[in-house]
Amino acid sequence: MNRQEAIKLLDEYVKNENLKKHMYAVEAAMREYAEYFGADPEWWGLIGLLHDFDYEKYPTAEEHPYKGSEILKKLGYPEDFRKTILAHASHTNEPRDTQAKKAIYAVDELCGLIVAVALVKPDKKLSSVDVKSVKKKIKDKAFARQVNRQEIIVGAEELGLSLDQHIELTLKGIKKVSEKLNL
């Protein structure tokens, strides 16, 4: 299990560049959370990087992320890794009983919202995004309608953080890969 192998798997399954960027953003946020909780940033980062690798081929709730978990199992990824990925999707009913499971659930939707906020900034840069601007867009239900705000809020609560802290940590992680995201 290493990043180079994960990137190869990502490239094999994902052609949509925006989906890849989403996974890089989630990887960065997971690394930030791993550091915050004193966990392994490599392991947490790989979870973020691979959490949606099957989505392009298997986009339905019946298939995603189950098909990805099956593929990862065949490739020798451990059960705890696969179950952590399953936890990012509430429809799997995978218990969020570890910090990593809580974090992947919490950052997934928030990463999408943060990127959307950056894209409406005049300079389209993550450096222009702050906690206040993200919170404002969370309240604006017409903005980025596909983002599940409830998951962002519940995710922060499950992590034992305020919404401001959750946004701040996620934003801090994503900003570290702003060049890779072209933001």
Question: H/E/C letters for each residue in the chain?
Answer: CCHHHHHHHHHHHCCCHHHHHHHHHHHHHHHHHHHHHCCCHHHHHHHHHHCCCCCCCCCCCCCCCHHHHHHHHHCCCCHHHHHHHHCCCHHHCCCCCCHHHHHHHHHHHHHHHHHHHHHHCCCCCHHHCCHHHHHHHHHCCCCCCCCCHHHHHHHHHHHCCCHHHHHHHHHHHHHCCCCCCCC
**What pTM did the predictor assign?**
0.96
| pLDDT tens digits, one per residue of 88-147 | 999 999 999 999 999 999 999 999 999 999 999 999 999 999 999 999 999 999 999 999
Q: Does residue 183 lie within any of the structural domains?
A: no
Q: Does residue 180 lie within any of the structural domains?
A: no
- In the chain, the number of structural domains is 1
| pLDDT tens digits, one per residue of 160-180 | 999 999 999 999 999 999 999
Q: Does residue 45 lie within any of the structural domains?
A: yes
Q: What is the CATH number of the domain that holds 66?
A: 1.10.3210
Range of the domain at 153: 3-175
